[in-house]
Amino acid sequence: MTRKILIVLVLMLIIPFGILSCNGEKSATPAPGSNTGINSDPAIVPSQPEEPVAKEPVKEAIKEETPKENLEVGIREGNLAPDFSLYDLEGEEVKLSDFRGKVVMLNFWATWCYYCKKEMPSMETFYQNYKDKGLVILAVNVREDQGTVNRFIKEKNYTFPILLDRTGAIAKEFQVGGLPITYIIDKRGVMSKIIIGGPINWQNEKYSRLITDLLEK
C-alpha cells in the first residue's frame, strides 16, 4: 500500500514538469512576424529590390571640330611653315606663329638687292590696303647690320614690320637661294604660294585676288 502511494506521488510531480517543459519549448519558436535576432536593430531594414527608374537619355552637345590635318613642316606649298623667332628694329622678339589667324607675306630682302628695293613701294601700298583686313607683311633682312637697315627704312618711310636675320640662319632654313623671295602663308600657317624673284608689282590683280581669297577663308 505504501508503495502505491509513493508511485502516485512521483507521477503527480513528473506530469506538471513535463507540461511546463513543452510550453517553454513552444515559446522559443518565433511567432510569425517576430524578430529572430537577425537585423535586431530596428533601424536596419532588409533591402528590397528597387524598381528601375526610367531616366531621360543624356543629351550630349555635338561639337563640330575642324578636321586635324597631319601636315608636314617644310618649305613647299602645302607644308606647314617652319616657325621661327627674330628681332625687329625696336628690339622686340617676333615669332611667325604669333600671326596664326592672319595671312602672312614673308619676304626676304637686303638693301643691296636692286629688285628688292624696286618692289618695296608696291609692298607698302599693298600693306596699307590690306593690313586692317588681316594681312601681315614680315620683311626679313638677310645678314645686314641693324644700322644699315634702320637708315634705309627711315629714308623710305616703310611701315611694315622689318625683322633682322643677322646670321642668315632663317634664310637658310627657308632655302633662300636668291633675293627677293616671298612666301604667302595662310591663316593656318600653311604655305599657300611661293613667289621667287622680282620685282613684283603687288598691285597686280592676280596678287590682290590671291590675298583677298586667303583673307576670306
Q: How far is CA 41 from the centre of its chain?
A: 56
163 strand-pairing partners: 88, 140
List Cα–Cα distances, 212 to 133, 207, 217, in angstroms: 9, 8, 9
- Say which residue the cell 627657308 belongs to: 174
Nearest to 187 by CA among 135, 138, 140: 135
- Say which residue the cell 533601424 belongs to: 43
Nearest to 180 by CA among 197, 155, 161: 197
What is the value of pTM for the model shown?
A: 0.69
Taken in order 207, 208, 213, 217, is the CA torsion positive or negative?
positive
Strand extents, DSSP E, the chain: 85-88, 93-95, 103-109, 135-142, 162-165, 181-185, 191-196
Q: Give the pLDDT of the chain (217 residues) as one tens digit per residue.
A: 555 555 555 456 554 444 334 344 443 333 444 343 333 333 333 334 444 444 343 333 323 333 356 899 999 999 999 999 999 999 999 999 999 999 999 999 999 999 999 999 999 999 999 999 999 999 999 999 999 999 999 999 999 999 999 999 999 999 999 999 999 999 999 999 999 999 999 999 999 999 999 999 9
Contacts of 36 (CB under 8 A, 6+ apart): 30
CA distance 131 to 108: 19
Contacts of 177 (CB under 8 A, 6+ apart): none
Domain architecture of the chain: domains with CATH: 85-216 (3.40.30.10)
CA distance 130 to 47: 74
> Can you read off the three cell numbers belonging to residue 158?
616703310
